[in-house]
C-alpha cells in the first residue's frame, strides 16, 4: 500500500450544505461545497392552496377593501412548483393596485382609494421583507426534488 500526502484533490471535502434552487437572493452565495436541490416536477397529490391575507397563521382582513382575491392568487403562485418569487410578488402588487384603483377616492384621502393604497403598500413591503421563508416553505411542499452539484 502506498501512502501519499493529501493533495487538493484527495483532501476530504467540507460537509456539503444543501440549498434549494429556489433560494432567495439573501441566502448564502453559491460555493463549491454547495449542492442544489433541483425541482424535478410538482409533488404528487399536491394542490396549490391559499389562506387569504396574512402569513404564519395570522389572517389579516380590512373591511371595505376586497384584497383577499389578490392574496389568494399570491398564495397559489407561491404554492405552485417552479414559480418565480419575483414574478409572484410583482403580480401581487399589480393586483392590489388594480383593486384599490377600482375604489372611489374619498375626500381628504381618508378611506376609499387612498387608504386602500396605503394598506396595499404595506402588504407589498411586508411580502418583500418577509416573503422568502414562506416562499421556500411553499416550494418545498409543492415540488419533488433531486440533488446535483453546482
pLDDT, tens digit (0-9, with 9 covering 90-100), for 37-93: 555 666 778 888 888 887 767 777 776 788 999 999 999 999 998 899 999 999 999
Are 23 and 84 spatial neighbours (Cβ–Cβ below 8 Å)? Answer: no
Q: What is the pLDDT of residue 40?
A: 60
Q: What is the pLDDT of residue 88?
A: 96
Report phi then psi at 95, rounded to 5. -65, -45
pLDDT, tens digit (0-9, with 9 covering 90-100), for 101-143: 988 877 545 568 888 999 999 999 999 999 998 998 898 888 8
The whole-model pTM stands at 0.69
144 pLDDT tier (thresholds 50, 70, 90): confident
pLDDT, tens digit (0-9, with 9 covering 90-100), for 8-43: 444 444 444 444 444 454 333 444 555 555 556 667
Q: If 0-12 CB within 10 Å is exposed, 13-18 middle and 19+ buried, where does residue 62 land?
A: middle
C-alpha distance from residue 42 to each of 69, 93, 107, 139, 145 (Å): 24, 26, 49, 9, 9
Closest CA to 67 of 135, 128, 115, 116: 116
Strands (DSSP E) contained in the chain are 17-20, 34-42, 54-55, 58-59, 143-149
Domain spans of the chain, in order of start = 48-142
Closest CA to 130 of 18, 26, 28, 48: 26
Are 67 and 120 spatial neighbours (Cβ–Cβ below 8 Å)? Answer: yes
Q: What is the pLDDT of residue 18?
A: 43
Higher pLDDT, 7 or 37: 37
Amino acid at each position: 500500500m502506498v501512502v501519499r500526502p493529501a493533495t487538493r484533490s484527495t483532501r476530504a471535502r467540507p460537509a456539503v450544505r444543501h440549498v434549494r434552487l429556489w433560494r432567495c437572493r439573501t441566502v448564502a452565495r453559491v460555493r463549491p461545497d454547495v449542492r442544489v436541490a433541483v425541482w424535478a416536477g410538482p409533488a404528487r397529490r399536491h394542490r396549490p392552496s391559499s389562506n387569504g391575507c396574512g402569513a404564519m397563521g395570522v389572517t389579516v382582513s380590512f373591511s371595505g377593501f376586497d384584497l383577499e382575491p389578490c392574496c389568494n392568487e399570491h398564495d397559489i403562485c407561491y404554492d405552485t412548483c417552479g414559480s418565480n418569487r419575483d414574478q409572484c410578488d410583482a403580480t401581487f402588487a399589480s393586483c392590489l393596485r388594480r383593486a384599490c384603483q377600482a375604489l372611489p377616492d374619498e375626500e381628504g384621502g381618508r378611506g376609499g382609494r387612498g387608504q386602500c393604497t396605503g394598506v396595499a403598500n404595506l402588504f407589498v413591503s411586508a411580502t418583500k421583507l418577509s416573503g422568502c421563508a414562506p416562499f421556500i416553505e411553499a416550494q418545498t411542499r409543492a415540488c419533488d426534488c433531486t440533488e446535483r452539484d453546482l
